[in-house]
C-alpha cells in the first residue's frame, strides 16, 4: 500500500503562505503583478490561463490578461512582450504555450526579460540552473522539488530516474535533483533509451515526464519506490460526460499497489505548478525591488 502525495493539499498550503507574503509586500507599497498572454483559442490553454488568473486573485496578485487572436504576427507578439518588459508595474510575464502555428516559441522566450521570466524558460535562467545558481526555476520542476521537500522525502544519494528530457520539465528536474543540496544520483531516460524497464526499475525515485498516457507500468517500477507523475494527458472515457478524462504518465492503479509514495493525476503535480507560478511572480516583484527571494 502506498501513501498519496496530494499536490492539491500542499499547493493550497503554499498558496496560504503566499497570500501572507503578498499582504506584506502590499503594505510596503508593492503590488505583485503578472501579465498573462494568450494567443488563439486552444481549449486546454484557455483552461490553464483561467486557472492561473483565478489563483492570482485568490492570493492577491494583480493579473492582467492579454488575449490575442490566432492571426497575431510574430512582430505584434514581440512588440507586446517588449511593452510588458518596459512596464515597471508588471513583474512577471507569462506567455501561454503552445503558440498557434506560424509563431516561433523560441524567439518569444528570448524576447521576455530574464528578470520577468516567471516560467523560467529564458536561456539565461536555464543556464543559471545548469551552473547551480538558479534564479527563476520553471514552475513544474519547482513544484516537484517542493512536493518532495514538504513530504519529507530525502533525495540525497538516492538513485533517481527522470523519464523525459524536455527543456521545460525533464531536463531541469534532472539538473536540480543532481545539484548541491538535493544530491540525488540522476539518470535521464527517454524514448530511445535501451532496456528502459530495466533502468526505471532501479529507481528509488522515479519522475515520469514522458508525455504518454499511462506509460509507466507496474513492472517498470521498483517495489517501495517514490513515483512522481508529471504527465497531463487526456484519454477517451465514454462514462464521462466530457467523453474523456485526465490521466498521468503512470498507470496509477497497478503502480500504486507497489510503491511507497505516489502523486495522483489530477491533484498531484498540476496544482503545484500553479502555486509555483505564484511564488515566482512574488519573487520577481521582490527582486525587481531589490529584496531577497522568499524562503519556501
Q: Which residues are known to be catalytic? A: 52, 96, 119
Minimum CB distance to ligand BQF, residue 223 (Å)? 26
CB-based closest residue to ligand BQF: 270
- Sheet strand arrangement including 261-262: 3-4, 261-262, 226-229, 205-208, 159-163, 185-189
25 or 39, CB closer to ligand BQF? Answer: 39
Minimum CB distance to ligand BQF, residue 51 (Å)? 4
Minimum CB distance to ligand BQF, residue 273 (Å)? 5
Q: What is the CA radius of gyration of the chain?
A: 19
- The three cell numbers of residue 77 are 507578439
25 or 93, CB closer to ligand BQF? Answer: 93
Residue 67 neighbours by CB under 8 Å, 6+ apart: 38
Give the span between the Cα atoms of 231 and 247, in whole angstroms.
7
Residues of this chain that interact with ligand BQF (CB under 6 A) are 48, 51, 232, 265-268, 270-271, 273-274
Minimum CB distance to ligand BQF, residue 232 (Å)? 4
- The three cell numbers of residue 82 are 517588449
Give the span between the Cα atoms of 245 and 182, in whole angstroms.
34
Tell me the CA distances in angstroms from 78 to 92, 114, 138, 154, one per residue in order: 16, 15, 21, 42
Strands (E), 135-204: 159-163, 185-189
204 or 229, CB closer to ligand BQF? Answer: 229
Minimum CB distance to ligand BQF, residue 174 (Å)? 18
Minimum CB distance to ligand BQF, residue 276 (Å)? 11
168 or 184, CB closer to ligand BQF? Answer: 168
Q: Residue 198 — left, alpha, or beta (φ > 0 → left; ψ -120 to 50 → alpha)?
A: alpha
225 or 230, CB closer to ligand BQF? Answer: 230
- The three cell numbers of residue 116 are 520577468
CA atoms within 13 A on the CB side of 241: 0
123 or 266, CB closer to ligand BQF? Answer: 266
- The three cell numbers of residue 50 are 483561467
The helix (H) or strand (E) run that includes residue 63 is strand 62-68
Give the span between the Cα atoms of 213 and 30, in whole angstroms.
42
Summarize the chain as % helix, strand, coil (round to 5).
40, 15, 45
Amino acid at each position: 500500500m502506498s501513501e498519496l502525495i496530494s499536490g492539491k493539499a500542499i499547493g493550497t498550503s503554499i498558496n496560504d503562505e503566499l497570500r501572507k507574503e503578498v499582504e506584506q509586500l502590499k503594505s510596503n507599497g508593492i503590488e505583485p503583478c503578472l501579465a498573462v498572454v494568450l494567443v488563439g483559442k486552444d481549449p486546454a490553454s484557455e483552461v490553464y490561463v483561467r486557472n492561473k488568473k483565478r489563483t492570482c486573485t485568490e492570493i492577491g496578485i494583480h493579473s492582467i490578461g492579454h488575449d490575442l487572436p490566432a492571426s497575431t504576427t510574430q512582430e505584434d507578439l514581440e512588440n507586446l512582450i517588449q511593452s510588458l518588459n518596459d512596464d515597471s508595474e508588471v513583474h512577471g510575464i507569462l506567455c501561454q504555450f503552445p503558440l498557434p502555428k506560424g509563431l516561433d516559441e523560441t524567439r518569444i522566450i528570448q524576447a521576455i526579460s530574464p528578470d520577468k521570466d516567471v516560467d523560467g524558460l529564458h536561456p539565461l535562467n536555464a543556464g543559471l540552473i545548469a551552473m547551480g545558481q538558479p534564479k527563476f526555476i520553471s514552475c513544474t520542476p519547482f513544484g516537484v522539488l517542493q512536493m518532495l521537500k514538504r513530504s519529507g522525502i530525502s533525495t540525497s544519494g538516492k538513485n533517481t530516474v527522470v523519464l523525459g528530457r524536455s527543456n521545460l520539465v525533464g531536463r531541469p528536474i534532472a539538473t536540480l535533483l543532481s545539484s548541491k543540496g538535493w544530491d540525488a544520483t540522476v539518470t535521464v531516460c527517454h524514448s530511445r533509451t535501451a532496456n528502459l524497464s530495466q533502468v526505471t526499475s532501479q529507481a528509488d525515485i522515479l519522475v515520469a515526464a514522458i508525455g504518454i498516457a499511462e506509460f509507466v507500468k507496474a513492472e517498470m517500477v521498483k517495489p517501495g519506490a517514490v513515483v512522481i507523475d508529471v504527465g497531463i494527458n487526456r484519454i477517451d472515457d465514454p462514462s464521462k460526460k466530457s467523453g474523456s478524462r485526465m490521466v498521468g504518465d503512470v498507470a496509477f492503479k497497478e503502480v500504486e499497489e507497489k510503491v511507497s509514495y505516489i502523486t495522483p493525476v489530477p491533484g498531484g503535480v498540476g496544482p503545484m505548478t500553479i502555486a509555483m507560478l505564484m511564488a515566482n511572480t512574488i519573487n520577481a516583484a521582490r527582486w525587481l525591488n531589490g529584496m531577497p527571494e522568499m524562503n519556501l
